[in-house]
């Protein structure tokens, strides 16, 4: 199926259109031809042929859909690339930690609003140094989601997401009317002290931030696919390595099923080396195969020596007198 501009629809779109149309016309088709398209053998065989062709395409590396790669280094290396005393540097410096610690999806940063964040306070109205994040804080959002928090980094204040978020809000002048979090930097900010325009950063521009950052950090962006979704994959990988269970991971990522986070779990070389090291250390315990075989061989030798001397050999359930065999 072609669009008006001559391009083809995606396969998923065509599939959805076909299913919706078939369901709407199902009753009419059954009445006219007495044939159910969802149970007819010819339709099932056609779908089977389509699925077989799809599997063949998935086996082809050039046609396979490539998922976003997780970072093999800490986010701190990216944060050192940017100067928070500049509009563009400040936005990118806070973009990476909140995308990582809140496990943002690829396009979540582009849709992020200041309304999604609320400073948490005690009963006496003093700050808890935590920023609560939830999309339901926006009046236009419907449906409940789990809360997440930006936590103060007491060990490294320079990359503290709470501090950076508050600084970003303080630089939004009175000219800013939009509630989008990331805004277009003002080139004349040094002259008029207006850091940002009342224009959100474009989605395509934000989509490039991670890829450009990893290139500056020296990572191979040709061999590996790095996108804004890589922050989400990195968060899941790091949490899985330190022992966070799958049910807790789904609370952070927002998945409804634990099986949905399995594509994010990528086995890198450092994690694999740690697994092999644990496997080799297990060989040194007292229940290893080598120790059991050694003890078994020593028992055989002692038994043979006792038999040659004509001594009595004791077993668990019986006693043999070797002198009788010698006679």
pLDDT value of position 94: 94
pLDDT at 39: 66
Q: Does 76-268 carry CATH code 3.10.110.10?
A: no
- Write down the pLDDT at residue 6: 63
**Average pLDDT rounded to a whole number, residues 316-324:** 49
Measured distance CA(151)–CA(143) in Å, rounded: 25
Token readout for 40 is: 């007819």
- What pLDDT digit, counting tens, does each position of 22-33 carry? 777 666 655 555
Question: 313 or 184, which is more confident?
Answer: 184
Q: What is the dihedral of CA 144, 105, 265, 281, to 10 degrees?
A: -90
Residue 145: alpha-carbon gap to chain centroid: 18
Could you read off the pLDDT of 293-312 as tens digits, one per residue?
444 444 444 444 444 444 44
pLDDT tens digit sequence for 243-287: 888 888 888 888 888 888 887 877 767 777 877 888 888 766 654
Which helix (H) or strand (E) segment is 319 a member of? Answer: strand 319-321
The lowest-confidence range among 183-192, 207-216, 285-294 is 285-294
Residue 300: predicted pLDDT: 44
CB 217 within 8 A of CB 80: no
Section 20-49 average pLDDT: 66
- Residue 292's pLDDT band, with cuts at 50, 70 and 90, is very low
pLDDT at position 218: 83
Pairing, β 127-133 against β 148-151:
antiparallel
- Residue corresponding to tokens 């807790």: 248
pLDDT at position 217 is 84
Dump strand ranges (E) for 136-217.
148-151, 183-185, 196-200
Contacts of 276 (CB under 8 A, 6+ apart): none
186 pLDDT band (50/70/90 cuts)? very high
**Reported confidence tier of residue 193, pLDDT bands at 50, 70, 90:** very high
94-138: pLDDT as tens digits: 999 999 999 999 899 999 999 999 999 999 999 899 999 998 887
pLDDT digits (tens, 9 = 90+) for 132-182: 999 888 766 655 578 899 999 999 899 899 999 999 999 999 999 999 999
């Amino acid at each position: 199926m072609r669009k008006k501009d001559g391009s083809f629809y995606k396969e998923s779109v065509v599939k959805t259109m076909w299913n919706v149309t078939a369901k709407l016309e199902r009753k009419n088709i059954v009445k006219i031809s007495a044939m159910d398209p969802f149970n007819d053998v010819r339709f099932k065989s056609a779908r089977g042929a389509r699925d077989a062709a799809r599997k063949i395409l998935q086996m082809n590396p050039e046609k396979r859909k490539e998922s976003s790669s997780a970072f093999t280094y800490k986010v701190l290396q990216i944060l050192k690339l940017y100067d928070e005393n500049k509009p563009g540097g400040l936005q990118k410096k806070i973009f990476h930690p909140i995308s990582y610690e809140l496990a943002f999806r690829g396009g979540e940063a582009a849709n992020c609003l200041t309304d999604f964040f609320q400073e948490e306070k005690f009963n006496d109205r003093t700050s808890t140094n935590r920023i609560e994040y939830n999309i339901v804080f926006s009046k236009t959002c419907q449906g409940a989601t789990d809360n997440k928090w930006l936590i103060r980094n007491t060990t490294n204040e320079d990359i503290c997401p709470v501090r950076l978020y508050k600084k970003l809000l303080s630089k939004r002048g009175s000219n800013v009317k939009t509630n989008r979090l990331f805004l277009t930097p003002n080139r004349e900010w040094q002259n008029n002290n207006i850091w940002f325009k009342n224009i959100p950063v474009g989605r395509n521009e934000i989509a490039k931030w991670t890829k450009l950052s990893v290139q500056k950090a020296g990572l191979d962006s040709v061999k590996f696919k790095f996108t804004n979704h890589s922050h989400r994959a990195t968060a899941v990988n790091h949490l899985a390595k330190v022992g966070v269970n799958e049910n807790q991971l789904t609370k952070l990522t927002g998945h409804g099923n634990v099986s949905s986070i399995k594509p994010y779990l990528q086995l890198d070389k450092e994690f694999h080396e740690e697994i092999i090291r644990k496997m080799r250390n297990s060989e040194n315990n007292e229940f290893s195969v080598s120790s059991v075989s050694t003890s078994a061989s020593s028992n055989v030798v002692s038994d043979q020596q006792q038999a040659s001397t004509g001594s009595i050999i004791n077993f668990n359930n019986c006693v043999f007198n070797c002198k009788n065999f010698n006679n």
